[in-house]
Structure 1
Amino acid sequence: MKEFAVYTGLRILLFVASLLTVTLIWSLLTEGRVPALWPLVIAFAVSGVLSYFLLNRQRIAFAKKVEERAARAASKFEERKAREDRDRGD
């Protein structure tokens, strides 16, 4: 699923960019002392908010593809179920 790969790759890239930015700003403000946990937490929150706005088109394309795949699977299931009912004589 190309849409999944694109969306996931962009989310990872956005997180890494946020982490680098937060770490750089933190190190500039605290003279090089950067704890491990807080920049991760802040970058996670920032990238989540940014991805909501910046990756909307990719998220919609991914959701559409998932919906189409689920509809095909449901259709095939109903088709097999109807065939079984016919074969049993119901």
Structure 2
Amino acid sequence: MKEFWIYTLLRLGLFVGSFAIVFGIWFLVADSVTLLWVIVIAFVISGIASYFLLERQREAFAVKVEGRAGKVADKLEESRSKEDTD
């Protein structure tokens, strides 16, 4: 679960940072700021950045999920084999 929260908080941090940068640039260049467009642009930028910058955290999260799924599958198979022998 730790890997999930680390990855999620880093993604959120990238979005907030991207939002602040896009908002600041837009505010300096234009007279009015369209908040919806700032959110959309920040979302796209943070998504692209997270693909490249958070690869290690995403991989750690995937390994953890795969391990947990393997344990559940093993327990399910074990319970099925017990039912077959009974």
TM bracket (short chain): over 0.9
Shift of 1:64: 0.3
TM-score scaled by length of structure 1? 0.94
| Alignment gaps of 5+ in structure 2 | none
- Name the CA distance, whole Å, in 1 between partners of 2:35 and 2:54: 27
Equivalent residue number for residue 14 of structure 1: 14
How far apart are the structure 1 equivalents of 2:8 and 2:59? 13
Q: Is 1:23 aligned with 2:15?
A: no
The residue number in structure 2 matching 1:53 is 52
Q: Please tell me whether Structure 1 or Structure 2 has the larger radius of gyration of its CA atoms.
A: 1
Count of matched residue pairs? 86
RMSD: 0.5
| Structure 1 moving runs of 4+ over 2 Å | none
Cα-to-partner distance string for 1:34-70 (whole Å, 9 max, x where unaligned): 1111000000000000000000000000000000000
Counterpart Cα distance in 2 of 1:36 and 1:9:
23
Instruction: Supply the distance in 1 between the matched residues of 2:84 and 2:22 (Cα, whole angstroms).
Output: 61
Aligned to 1:36: 35
For residue 84 of structure 1, report the CA deviation from its aligned partner: 0.6
